[in-house]
Amino acid sequence: MTKTGGTDQQKTDVKVSLIGGHRLEGETLHERTLTVSLVGGADVDLTGIEIPDGAELRITKLSLIGGVSLKVRPDVVVAVHGIRLGGVKDEGPSEPGGPTVRIDAWGLLGGVDVTRG
């Protein structure tokens, strides 16, 4: 995760495709990421980065069809927001205070699947 300084504005990564999803690795992401596709999901692996306690990494997914597959460390809190037909599968911690990844998933079909490892 690329961290910006205290007075700098947060950078936003933007990924766009018509058909096909996006594969995102943690080392290349900033604090905010927007991924947009007509048909296709987002495969996000954040296990290789250190997110400081109290920090929030935000990923916004917009698509008609396609969900989010997120892989994080066991101590990361995942907060899922948005509107989509599809559930959320996450059995991780829910207490605030640690590092947080916020997923805003907006779409017609597609759920959010969180894997911890």
Given this model, what pLDDT does residue 3 score? 44
Q: How far apart are CA 47 and CA 7, in angstroms?
A: 28
Arithmetic mean of pLDDT, 71-95? 84
Answer with the residue of higher pLDDT: 4 or 17: 17
Phi/psi at 50 (5° precision): -100, 120
Contact 47, 69 (CB under 8 A): no
Q: What is the mean pLDDT of the chain?
A: 84
| Distance of alpha carbon 40 from alpha carbon 43, whole angstroms | 10
Quick: pLDDT tens for 27-67: 777 789 899 999 998 999 999 888 888 888 999 999 999 98
114 pLDDT above the threshold of 60: yes
